[in-house]
Amino acid sequence: MKYYIIAGEASGDLHGSNLMKSIFQEDNNAQIRFWGGDLMQNAGGTLVKHYRDLAFMGFAEVVMNLRTILSNIDVCKKDILDFNPDILIFIDYPGFNMRIAKWAKKLGFKTHYYISPQIWAWKENRIKAIKRDVDKMYVILPFEKDFYEKKHNYPVEFVGHPLIDAIQNRTSTNPEEFKKEHQLSDKPVIALLPGSRKQEIAKMLSEMLSVVDYFPDYQFVIAGAPSQEYSFYQQFLTQKNIKFISNKTYDLLSISHAALVTSGTATLETALFKVPEVVLYKGNWISYQIAKRIITLKYISLVNLIMDQEVVTELIQDECNQKRIKEELTRILNPEHRSSLLEKYSELETKLGGKGASATTAKLIVSALKQK
């Protein structure tokens, strides 16, 4: 059978790659065409467009790049028609994917959505479009099932969180060999995870690096995003005690003592690696002012949202400054606080359910196609 998958970000590439591997196991004759990244390409199938050409962050940035976005939508529609898949699978990335879903549903394509748009955070009225345009929704956060079924009377499948699989199934690295390979010292590592898009990386690294000199007994290591070239990061590597490692975030987290993390999927990844973290976010001023008025969530990090309490500290916009980052980093380096935080991380993992999200979703998708 023929599958068309659309992922528009680094996290979608990760989850899409694991889903593809599971689909190939369930369907030996699977033909997969996709929008995604290097991980999905390594899993097999045919890459149409890389997510690095799709990622625009914030309201203002979307407006400025609207022509490119609309052009990509036209390219996608034409490619789908040429491929004529048995099913379309959307992975998060709602601004783009919901447009394609509306168009595809009208033409009679089967539409499944893996990893729900975060309509519980904002744009809850998208539920109308989801009910109309999406045949099946697979959710990965435990509170999403109640949100859809109890609040909106829309049945969904809770499949567990695919990050658990991604972390447990990775090929582990010998810590000493990893440190030697990347010329790391014996000092404890503080990982810096500034995001994956250029504008957020530039903004967040300037804040993260402002505290380096206050912690001479630690080494700071920037986790380079696979979508960005080393040349882009060179401008930030001017201080002593800073290292850079590209496309090895999980290996880096596995040896890290603490982390400063830009809000996003990385906050949950860091917690699942049992690394104490401070969550940071500072966006474009206009985008932030708009978001502040329409997003009513108590928290921005997945860790706190899932636990429904402040497990990790969030420093947002004006709070994201040298003084506060220094204070909170000092706090998570304290042994007593670390112990309490790690207990909460264990509770978090239990809430997310067991492993097998990708395999479960693939079985449900293939089964639905066979029933057709």
Burial 130-142 (b: 16+ CB within 10 A, else e): beebbebbbbbbe
| Residue 328: per-residue pLDDT | 98
Residue-wise pLDDT for 263-279, tens only, equals 888 999 999 999 999 99
**Radius of gyration, CA atoms only, the chain:** 21
Q: How is residue 148 written in tokens?
A: 């859809």
Rounded-to-integer distance, Cα 66 and Cα 60, Å: 10
Query: Would you say the CATH fold of 173-351 matches that of 2-167+355-371?
Result: yes
If we measure between CA atoms, which residue out of 7, 98, 87 comes closest to residue 49? 7
Would you say domain 173-351 falls under CATH 3.40.50.2000? yes
CATH class of 2-167+355-371: alpha beta
Residue with tokens 């595809």: 104
> Which 3 state secondary structure label does DSSP give 109?
coil
For the chain, the structural domain boundaries read 2-167+355-371, 173-351
| Residue 357: per-residue pLDDT | 94
| Residue 171: per-residue pLDDT | 85
Residues contacting residue 318 through CB under 8 Å, at least 6 positions apart: none
| Residue 64: per-residue pLDDT | 56
Hey, how many other C-beta atoms are within 10 angstroms of the C-beta on 335?
A: 6
Hey, how many other C-beta atoms are within 10 angstroms of the C-beta on 202?
A: 15
List the alpha helices (DSSP H) in 107-181: 127-133, 142-146, 152, 162-168, 175-181
| Residue 52: per-residue pLDDT | 81
CA distances (Å), origin 204, targets 7, 92, 106, 274: 24, 23, 42, 22
If we measure between CA atoms, which residue out of 358, 335, 161 comes closest to residue 265? 161
The edge-to-edge listing of strands for the beta sheet with 189-193 is 242-246, 219-224, 189-193, 256-262, 277-281, 313-316
Q: How is residue 153 written in tokens?
A: 């009377």
Say which DSSP state 8 is in.
-
Rounded-to-integer distance, Cα 64 and Cα 51, Å: 18
Residues contacting residue 307 through CB under 8 Å, at least 6 positions apart: 344, 347, 348, 351
Query: How many residues in the chain?
Result: 372
Q: Which residues of the chain have pLDDT under 70?
A: 54-67, 69, 284-296, 372
